[in-house]
């Protein structure tokens, strides 16, 4: 399917785009099923938060309308929405009144081995660490070099994802996922106030778990806590939930809470 820029079919972008020059923008990767963008409200909430934090002027009504129309035409697949601050000639300074550029691309459904969801995955121990930046933490901004470097650390198919730590050695997230662990019936995920992306699926699973009365904790996670976990899983808005079986010398069984949340995520992606 053709890409769109500001609501019009396009296959080229200005060389002055600040997304290209500085990574000055945000993105959302949205699963589309039967013509509907899955978890759209949560994607829009994160996008709006990013725009406020970066002082990006975005026509949010145009985004909603374009995403809905584009998703209808894509029908099934993965829609990527990229927002950039638009053009500037040179230098970091920007025109605070400039309207953001809206870019939409469509991709076929992501295909992963069934075994990832069924039997669980092995996480690669990435040595690339996430840097602390509370101003950008949580946002899905366009500066993703840490993830690019981390993903280049393994080429084998034995590892489906990699685990990333922060500068202090705390467990933060996967390269393209968020991470959860279960300990004594408590569902635990990393505090992302210094680094990491606040995933849409993470937010949805936290909210679903709260409705189910499952005790939750959003906190710092050490490798020792990871080692002592009863269950570990990763999630994102495209594949849902993958149980984690192993990380370096550590291993876990695929547990009941992981399966429960995986079923919920699958139902949302297939609704």
Ligand X SMILES: C=C(O[C@@H]1C=C(C(=O)O)C=C[C@H]1N)C(=O)O
Q: Which residues of this protein are in contact with ligand PLP, per CB under 6 A?
A: 29, 147, 173, 176-178, 197, 199-202, 236-237
Cβ atoms of 162 and 123 closer than 8 Å: yes
128 strand-pairing partners = none
Residue nearest ligand X (C-beta atom): 29
List the Cα angle 130/228/237 in 5-degree steps.
50
Applying CB under 6 A, does 262 fall inside the site for ligand X?
no
Q: Which of residues 136 and 250 has its CB atom nearest to ligand X in the complex? A: 136
178 binds, among ligand X, ligand PLP, none (CB under 5 to 8 A by kind): ligand PLP
Nearest to 29 by CA among 6, 52, 12, 47: 47
CA distance 211 to 223: 29
Among 236, 257, 262, 268, binds ligand X (CB under 6 A): 236
Quick one: what does residue 239 bind among ligand PLP, ligand X, none, with the CB cut-off 5 to 8 Å set by partner type? ligand X
Residue placing its CB nearer to ligand X in the complex, 80 or 259: 80
The one catalytic residue in 28, 128, 140, 198 is 140
Q: Which helix (H) or strand (E) holds 15?
A: none
Look up 140 and say whether it is catalytic: yes
Least distance in angstroms from the C-beta of 86 to ligand PLP: 23
Query: What's the CA gap between 179 and 137, in Å, rounded?
Result: 16
Among 84, 128, 237, 262, binds ligand X (CB under 6 A): 237
Tell me the DSSP string of 31-89: EEETTEETTHHHHHHHHHHHHHHHT-B--HHHHHHHHHHHHHHH-SEEEEEEEE--B-S
Q: Where are the alpha helices (DSSP H) in the chain?
A: 18-22, 40-54, 60-74, 114-118, 145-151, 200-211, 223-227, 256-270
CB of 30 to ligand X, least distance (A): 9
What x/- string results for residues 174 through 213 when contact with ligand X is judged by CB under 6 A?
A: --x-------------------------------------
Q: Which two tokens stand for residue 64?
A: 């909603």
* Residue list 106-125, contact with ligand X (CB under 6 A): 110
From the list ligand PLP, ligand X, none, partner contacted by residue 110 (C-beta under 5 to 8 A by kind) = ligand X
Burial class of residue 103 (count of CB atoms within 10 Å of its CB; 0-12, 13-18, 19+): buried
Choose the catalytic residue: 29, 84, 189, 258. Answer: 29
CA distance 182 to 184: 7
Binder of residue 260, out of ligand X, ligand PLP, none (CB less than 5 to 8 A by kind): none
Q: Is 80 in the site for ligand X (CB under 6 A)?
A: yes
80 binding partner (options ligand PLP, ligand X, none; Cβ < 5 to 8 Å by kind): ligand X
Residues assigned a catalytic role = 29, 140, 173
**Under the rule (CB under 6 A), what is the footprint of ligand X?**
29, 80, 110, 176, 236-239
């Amino acid at each position: 399917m053709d890409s769109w820029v500001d609501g019009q079919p396009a296959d080229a972008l200005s060389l002055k785009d600040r997304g290209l020059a500085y990574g000055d923008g945000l993105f959302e990767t949205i699963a589309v099923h039967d013509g509907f963008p899955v978890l759209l409200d949560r994607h829009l909430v994160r996008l709006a938060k990013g725009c406020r934090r970066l002082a990006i002027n975005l026509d949010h009504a145009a985004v909603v309308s374009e995403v809905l129309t584009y998703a209808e035409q894509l029908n099934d697949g993965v829609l990527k929405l990229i927002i950039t601050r638009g053009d500037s000639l040179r230098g970091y300074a920007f025109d605070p009144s400039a309207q953001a550029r809206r870019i939409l691309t469509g991709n076929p459904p992501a295909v992963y081995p069934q075994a990832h969801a069924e039997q669980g995955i092995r996480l690669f121990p990435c040595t690339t660490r996430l840097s602390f930046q509370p101003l950008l933490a949580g946002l899905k901004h366009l500066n993703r070099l840490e993830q690019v470097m981390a993903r280049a650390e393994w080429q084998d198919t034995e590892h489906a994802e990699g685990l990333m730590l922060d500068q202090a050695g705390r467990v933060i997230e996967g390269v393209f996922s968020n991470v959860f662990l279960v300990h004594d019936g408590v569902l635990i995920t990393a505090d992302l106030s210094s680094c990491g992306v606040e995933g849409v699926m993470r937010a949805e699973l936290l909210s679903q778990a709260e409705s189910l009365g499952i005790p939750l904790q959003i906190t710092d996670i050490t490798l020792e806590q990871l080692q002592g976990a009863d269950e570990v899983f990763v999630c994102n808005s495209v594949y849902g939930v993958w149980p984690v079986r192993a990380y370096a010398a550590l291993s876990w069984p695929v547990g009941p809470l992981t399966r429960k949340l995986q079923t919920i995520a699958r139902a949302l992606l297939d609704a």
